[in-house]
């Protein structure tokens, strides 16, 4: 066994998609289920989702939203109310057509269940809930005094995707969908932008992932939206991933669902609505952004367990003493807080070999590993390993020093991950001017076995929707967003049409 063998095979540069799947498996976060396209989210993966929920929910509440829950099943006719929306989701809907089964005994003794009781109107398993929430809003809103309506729901949705991938694109996924209704267009737009910013901040400060906030082009817009805002992240194969979206829906859905109110001017009018969401895709994004060739690396703020304590028990007669000392250390640690939450500490008391346990936690990506054995008890020290540093790295520190610095250590790991992800993104973000440069940037050197290549190309753009489609078709590169920042505003010439352009857009290959 060579010394520099990595825990995950293949490595990132050898085969990124396969590496990704191996990390998910090695970290024990999820597995494919017997149901096509649907995954089983295992505790270590679900723990991440719970932290996403907990921490985002605080932000939603802080910005005035409340949670509610709406049905899984949507009457088919509801989806027909908004034409663009209906068309957008038509090809990926699971449809419920029956409401009972009849048990039929077969000659061979087995039982077959035959669907009966056909529904007069089929239901669609929600691919998103604009229509059914819109119907509720229509009932709830009568006066401008009922507005704004600021609702969020944590739910599962189903989209019958052609090619599922764990966390990144599954047929069923977990998400939150915010739905709001407002008196004016301006108010709805500022809500859209507020939540867009909440997502960008959350990704950066909690997931340690920098994003480029921007607006989608018409081609990439949510079906039925007037404008769609996105946060785009770059992961380690330099592709873009849409990590969250916030939509300004204008009055489209209000008109489709009949959300009307009597205004201050005593005129009956349609409300202005928004919707916004992030999903379990965030977990896939975190993996692709932070994991390395030894497995997952959890950002401390999100890690289900931030510190794992590994008792080193070489002699049976000192075993209990060591375990007691580890438990005591854990208890002391749990009285401390990081980012406003008590430290999440686990003592791994399983009767396994130390090396086995150590590697398991490396692969799971727990931010800090702490080893304590008989000698450490005597010398009042602990051996601390940071997951963001080399796997072999281990620092012997005094226990008191460790207790004093532990939150700072977690903070450092968190910062390191953000700094790394930011450096990767910046290194592979290029301002390009010509079609030649553009094509070269996105063309792998080895066409048979493409290496990681490209990144974010900041281009001047003044093309049409068709031009955009053409680029997508020819190079598999799309406009990820029209970024909001001032640094992207500058006069230039569109690299495709030669027309003048006032702003650069972000082109990239994407998930």
Q: Which residues bind RNA (CB under 7 A)?
A: 5, 7, 17, 21, 32, 35-37, 88, 91-92, 159, 161-165, 168-171, 173, 220, 222, 241-242, 245, 279-281, 310, 312-314, 316, 353-356, 358-359, 371-376, 383, 472, 476, 510-511
DSSP class of 12: T
Least CB distance from residue 320 to RNA, whole Å? Answer: 14
Least CB distance from residue 354 to RNA, whole Å? Answer: 2
Least CB distance from residue 398 to RNA, whole Å? Answer: 13
Q: Is beta strand 395-398 parallel, antiparallel or unpaired with respect to 456-460?
A: unpaired
* Helix 281-290 × helix 399-427 angle, to 10°: 90
Least CB distance from residue 50 to RNA, whole Å? Answer: 18
Which is closer to RNA, CB of 280 or CB of 416?
Answer: 280
Which is closer to RNA, CB of 46 or CB of 359?
Answer: 359
> What is the helix, strand, coil percentage profile of the chain, to 5?
35, 30, 35
Least CB distance from residue 146 to RNA, whole Å? Answer: 30
Least CB distance from residue 150 to RNA, whole Å? Answer: 22
DSSP class of 165: B
Cα separation, 172 vs 24, whole angstroms: 17
Which is closer to RNA, CB of 252 or CB of 358?
Answer: 358
Over the range 324-336, which residues count as b (16 or more CB within 10 Å of their CB) and which as e? ebbeebbeebeee
Which is closer to RNA, CB of 229 or CB of 338?
Answer: 229
Cα separation, 43 vs 409, whole angstroms: 25
Residues 6+ apart with CB under 8 A from 104: 111, 112, 113, 114
Residues 6+ apart with CB under 8 A from 260: 138, 141, 254, 268, 269, 270, 271
Least CB distance from residue 132 to RNA, whole Å? Answer: 18
Cα separation, 418 vs 205, whole angstroms: 8
Q: Residue 19 in 3-state DSSP?
A: helix
Instruction: Determine contact, residues 334/343, Cβ cutoff 8 Å.
Output: yes
Radius of gyration (C-alpha) of the chain in whole angstroms = 26
DSSP class of 127: S
Cα separation, 155 vs 174, whole angstroms: 6
Which is closer to RNA, CB of 183 or CB of 371?
Answer: 371
Cα first-last separation, the chain: 35
Token readout for 270 is 């349609």
Cα separation, 192 vs 181, whole angstroms: 11
Least CB distance from residue 87 to RNA, whole Å? Answer: 9
Which is closer to RNA, CB of 39 or CB of 413?
Answer: 39
List, in sequence order, every residue forming a beta bridge with 346; answer none if it has no partner. Answer: 308
Token readout for 39 is 């995954």
Which is closer to RNA, CB of 68 or CB of 396?
Answer: 396
Which is closer to RNA, CB of 40 or CB of 502?
Answer: 40
Least CB distance from residue 125 to RNA, whole Å? Answer: 12
Cis before 177 (ω within 30): no
**Residue 258 vs residues 78, 149, 150, 273: alpha-carbon distances, Å:** 12, 15, 17, 12
Least CB distance from residue 268 to RNA, whole Å? Answer: 32
Q: Is beta strand 95-105 parallel, antiparallel or unpaired with respect to 240-248?
A: unpaired
Least CB distance from residue 25 to RNA, whole Å? Answer: 8
Which is closer to RNA, CB of 238 or CB of 270?
Answer: 238
Least CB distance from residue 257 to RNA, whole Å? Answer: 20
Which is closer to RNA, CB of 142 or CB of 218?
Answer: 218
**Residue 105 vs residues 82, 110, 113, 419: alpha-carbon distances, Å:** 45, 6, 9, 63
Token readout for 90 is 């038509």
Q: Is beta strand 368-372 parallel, antiparallel or unpaired with respect to 307-311?
A: parallel
Which is closer to RNA, CB of 183 or CB of 294?
Answer: 294
Which is closer to RNA, CB of 217 or CB of 245?
Answer: 245
Which is closer to RNA, CB of 32 or CB of 260?
Answer: 32
Of 234, 239, 230, 255, the closest CA to residue 85 belongs to 255
Least CB distance from residue 388 to RNA, whole Å? Answer: 18
């Amino acid at each position: 066994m060579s010394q520099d063998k990595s825990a995950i095979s293949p490595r990132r540069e050898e085969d990124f998609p396969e590496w990704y799947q191996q990390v998910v498996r090695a970290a024990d976060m999820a597995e494919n289920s017997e149901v096509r396209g649907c995954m089983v989210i295992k505790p270590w993966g679900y723990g991440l989702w719970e932290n996403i929920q907990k921490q985002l929910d605080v932000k939603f509440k802080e910005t005035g939203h409340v949670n509610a829950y709406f049905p899984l099943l949507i009457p088919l006719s509801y989806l027909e109310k908004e034409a663009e929306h209906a068309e957008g989701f038509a090809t990926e809907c699971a449809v419920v057509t029956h409401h009972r089964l009849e048990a039929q005994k077969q000659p061979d003794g087995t039982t077959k269940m035959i669907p009966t009781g056909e529904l007069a109107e089929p239901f669609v398993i929600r691919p998103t809930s604009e229509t059914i929430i819109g119907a509720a809003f229509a009932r709830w809103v009568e006066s401008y005094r009922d507005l704004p309506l600021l609702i969020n729901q944590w739910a599962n949705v189903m989209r019958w995707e052609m090619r599922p991938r764990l966390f990144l694109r599954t047929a069923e996924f977990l998400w939150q969908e915010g739905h709001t209704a407002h008196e004016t267009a301006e108010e709805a737009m500022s809500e859209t932008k507020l939540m867009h910013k909440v997502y960008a901040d959350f990704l950066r400060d909690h997931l340690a992932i920098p994003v480029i906030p921007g607006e989608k082009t018409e081609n990439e817009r949510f079906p039925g939206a007037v404008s769609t805002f996105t946060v785009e992240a770059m992961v380690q194969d330099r592709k873009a991933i849409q990590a969250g979206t916030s939509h300004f829906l204008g009055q489209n859905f209000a008109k489709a669902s009949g959300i009307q109110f009597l205004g201050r001017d005593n005129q009956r009018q349609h409300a202005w609505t928004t919707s916004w969401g992030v999903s379990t895709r965030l977990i896939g994004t975190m993996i692709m952004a932070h994991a390395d060739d030894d497995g997952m690396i959890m950002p401390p703020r999100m890690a289900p367990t931030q510190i794992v304590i590994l008792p080193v028990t070489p002699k049976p007669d000192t075993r209990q003493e060591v375990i007691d000392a580890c438990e005591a250390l854990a208890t002391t640690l749990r009285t401390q807080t990081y980012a406003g939450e008590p430290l999440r500490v686990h003592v791994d008391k399983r009767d396994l070999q130390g090396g086995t346990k150590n590697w398991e936690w490396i692969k799971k990506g727990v931010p800090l590993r702490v080893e304590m054995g008989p000698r450490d008890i005597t010398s009042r020290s602990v051996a601390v390993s940071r997951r963001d540093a080399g796997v072999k790295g281990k620092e012997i520190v005094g226990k008191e020093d460790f207790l004093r610095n532990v939150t700072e250590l977690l903070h450092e790991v968190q910062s390191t991950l953000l700094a790394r992800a930011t450096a990767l993104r910046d290194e592979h973000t290029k301002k390009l001017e010509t079609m030649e440069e553009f094509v070269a940037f996105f063309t792998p050197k080895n066409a048979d076995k493409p290496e990681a290549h490209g990144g974010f190309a900041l281009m001047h753009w003044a093309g049409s929707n068709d031009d955009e489609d053409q680029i997508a078709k020819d190079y598999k590169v799309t406009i990820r967003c029209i970024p909001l920042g001032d640094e992207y505003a500058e006069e230039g010439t569109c690299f495709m049409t030669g027309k003048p352009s006032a702003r650069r857009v972000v082109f990239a290959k994407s998930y």
